[in-house]
């Protein structure tokens, strides 16, 4: 019974908070100039939602993936001092081999070529 009462109180507080937030955040749409996108004081000549290159997006994602991989490579030098050298070398080579296979796959698929 106590859990049911607490659940009802939490639900009631959540609903009241959402209603207050929606009532207080209402903005008036009376002024056309304030609601239009600003472009040096003139009306924009084209749509503000122009499409962007999907290829640029793919290059950005590949950059992020390889950036994370570099962040994973940095601790390898620190681990070298405290581990067995042959095991460290074997694990490092496997990791680098996997990265090179991924790079070759991206290159083979044509994702790294900017102009088609």
Please enumerate, as own/partner, the contacts of 102-107 that have beta carbons within 8 Å and a separation of 24 or more.
102/65, 103/66, 106/62
pLDDT > 70? residue 81: yes
Q: What is the arithmetic mean of pLDDT over 71-76?
A: 86
pLDDT of residue 47: 63
pLDDT of residue 23: 81
Q: What is the arithmetic mean of pLDDT over 28-34?
A: 59
At residue 66 the predicted structure's pLDDT band, cuts being 50, 70 and 90, is confident
pLDDT of residue 43: 56
What CATH code is assigned to 2-109? Answer: 1.20.58
Dist CA 2 CA 19 (whole Å): 26
Cα 89 to its chain centre, rounded Å, is 33
pLDDT > 70? residue 116: no
Quick check: pTM over 0.75?
no
Residue with the larger pLDDT of the pair 84 and 40: 84
């Amino acid at each position: 019974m106590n859990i049911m009462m607490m659940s009802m109180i939490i639900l009631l507080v959540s609903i009241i908070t959402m209603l207050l937030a929606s009532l207080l955040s209402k903005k008036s749409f009376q002024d056309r100039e304030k609601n239009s996108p600003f472009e040096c004081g003139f009306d924009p000549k084209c749509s503000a939602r122009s499409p962007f290159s999907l290829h640029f997006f793919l290059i950005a994602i590949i950059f992020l993936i390889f950036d994370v991989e570099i962040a994973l490579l940095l601790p390898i030098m620190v681990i070298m001092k405290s581990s067995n050298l042959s095991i460290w070398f074997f694990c490092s080579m496997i990791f680098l081999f996997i990265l090179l296979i991924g790079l070759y796959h991206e290159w083979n698929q044509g994702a790294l070529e900017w102009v088609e």
